[in-house]
Amino acid sequence: MISSYILIRKLDSLENDFSNLQSQVSNMMGNQNVTQQNITISGNNASLTEIYEKVKDSVVLILGKTGSGTVQGSGFVYNYTGTMVIVTNNHVVHGTNSLSVTFSDGNGYQATVNGTDPYADLAVLSVSTAPQTELRPLDIVSSSTLRVGEQVLAIGNPYGLVGSMTTGVVSALNRTIDESDYTGGFAIANIIQTSAPINPGNSGGPLLNLDGKVVGITTAIVANSQGLGFAIPSNTILREMWSLTQYGTYNGHPYLGLEGTDMDYETAQSMHINVTYGWRITGTVQGGPAASAGVQVNDVVVGINGVRVRNGDEMSSFLEENTLSGQTVVLDVCRGSQMMTFQVVLGRRPQPPA
């Protein structure tokens, strides 16, 4: 009996020792996680500083004179096949009769417009009198890999405050924005929405990823909004750069000749159809690409080339990213209780207003 009692006491002691050891290991692991998290956060802060130091000299202040006053914006240096250019927004240079570009060291030079595209709010400038030492180009990478929640940085000159950096995240993709004064009523599609604060004067500056590469151009804000900014995706720049530098314009934007509105449950109920998503046609251009193919008012476009589209933003963004004028696309359309397909040869948009 005594030996059994001693054995039980030893087992209890071993269990207590094992429990204490588990507790110590758990505490050590918890401390290790906290330490690792602090290192990661510190690393990100240092990274932002390093990115700014690396790219700040590539961002420029753009000043322009118009018949009624002056305009101001931002831009950045880009090396296109060996030629140094300044990339900015069309609305920054629209209507100007003289332009200058000022670098981060304060040196300013006369600039000229090489090409513009109001439908994408893009412009390319040259600064032929600037020495090569001033021209420090940024790399432009594909925006196709961007995901909602990814951190981005915006650098520009809000309200003339040169070299300002703000941070945020990609808050949405495939948006459309309206710049009717420059586009004649056509929406600018395939836009990046970001929470990085953007203010007047930021327009034309780069939107960067955490590698310091350009993924977009900051272009617009919503008046009286909190943390709602927009940027042209870098894929648009890469797609249009050759045409803008060679011909001064870009004519590849697809054109359907349609007007429409987003579908929803209430509209579907009133139309007595089962489709609650897509883009309902409210008007067609007589003789336009879609009308010529047989598309009618109250048809609901639910897909393009087999890709489901939930609304007009997705439809416009798909066309802008994946098609060109002159190409044939297949529209999936709901008409009453029928699902139909139409082959449409995309047209070319009319020239934007001067």
State the pairing for strand pair 83-88/122-126.
Answer: antiparallel
272 in catalytic set = no
CB-based contact 312:279 (threshold 8 Å): yes
Structure letter (DSSP) for residue 186 = P
> What backbone phi and psi angles, to 5 degrees, belong to 26?
-60, -45
Judged by DSSP in three states, 229 sits in: strand
Q: Which tokens sit at 220?
A: 């617009």
CB-based contact 348:325 (threshold 8 Å): yes
203 in catalytic set = yes
C-alpha to C-alpha distance for 206 and 126, rounded to whole angstroms: 17
The single residue of 58, 164, 203, 234 carrying the catalytic annotation is 203
Where would I find the H helices in the chain?
2-55, 90-93, 180-183, 234-247, 265-271, 289-293, 312-322
> What backbone phi and psi angles, to 5 degrees, belong to 315?
-65, -50
Handedness of CA 264, 267, 269, 274 (dihedral sign): negative
C-alpha to C-alpha distance for 78 and 85, rounded to whole angstroms: 5
CB-based contact 244:115 (threshold 8 Å): yes
The single residue of 91, 143, 234, 299 carrying the catalytic annotation is 91
Longest dimension (CA), the chain: 109
The single residue of 58, 74, 117, 121 carrying the catalytic annotation is 121
Residue 286: exposed, middle, or buried by beta-carbon count in 10 A (0-12, 13-18, 19+)?
A: exposed
Please give the helix or strand (H or E) that residue 63 lies within, else none: strand 59-66
211 in catalytic set = no
Overall size of the chain counted in residues: 354
> What backbone phi and psi angles, to 5 degrees, belong to 193?
-100, 135
The residues that are catalytic are 91, 121, 203
